[in-house]
Amino acid sequence: MRVTLFDYGAGNLHSLIKALATTPGADVRVQEDPLRALDTDVLVLPGVGAFGSAAARLAPGREAMRKALDAGLPCLGICLGMQLLFEESDEGAGQGLGYFPGRVTRLAARHVPQIGWNDIEEDRALQSARLSTVYYAHSFVCRAVDAREVVGWTTHEGDRFPASVRRGNVLGVQFHPEKSSHAGVRFVQAFLQEVSS
């Protein structure tokens, strides 16, 4: 199973690569070209960076990537990667993939960024690897138009926002599973195993 991280050039991917590689049969690759990143069995949009610069790196392959997701290419979007699955962001210019309708806005809280552990409410992202507490590091959150696509919620200082969204084989998570201890790594493994079967 080829697993490709689309690298928008913003940060250390080591812990995510390590978590993905623990899945039996996973051949993990990193690709900076958004079109070449689509030559894969599973696409991963990692969670480090700013929306504007990541959207600019995505732009040459945006339409092709959106078509690939619509056609069934499995995708895991983490933190910023989840935000890129939406339409636009208040954090910066540029277009996301628009796979999920909605906008990314600043977290409505006194303490921003939210860094640390928090609970997930109503976790339905993966039946085989339910999560209760996960690690966050973010200042912006997705505001989903269709609540039916939200498969987990989190509340930070009264602001309730999607912890995870899912439609078909495309899963976005606002948290960092690769930094969420053994349960987070099992979550990554469960997603890869589910979409490869």
Contacts 24+ apart (CB under 8 A), 146-155: 146/100, 146/101, 146/102, 149/100, 151/122, 151/123, 151/124, 151/125, 152/120, 152/121, 152/122, 152/123, 152/124, 152/125, 153/120, 153/121, 153/122, 154/118, 154/119, 154/120, 154/121, 155/118, 155/121
- Which among 57, 59, 119, 54 is positioned nearest to 83, based on CA atoms? 54
Q: Is 176 one of the catalytic residues?
A: yes
Q: Is 111 one of the catalytic residues?
A: no
Which member of 79, 88, 91, 149 is catalytic? Answer: 79
Which member of 88, 91, 149, 176 is catalytic? Answer: 176
Which member of 14, 138, 178, 194 is catalytic? Answer: 178
Q: Is 32 one of the catalytic residues?
A: no
- Which among 139, 168, 194, 165 is positioned nearest to 78, based on CA atoms? 165
Which structure tokens are listed for 174? 């606002």
Contact 152, 162 (CB under 8 A): yes
Q: Work out the number of other CB atoms within 10 angstroms of the CB of residue 26.
A: 19
Which structure tokens are listed for 118? 């928090």
How far apart CA 66 and CA 19 sit, in angstroms, is: 25
Residues with catalytic annotation?
A: 79, 176, 178
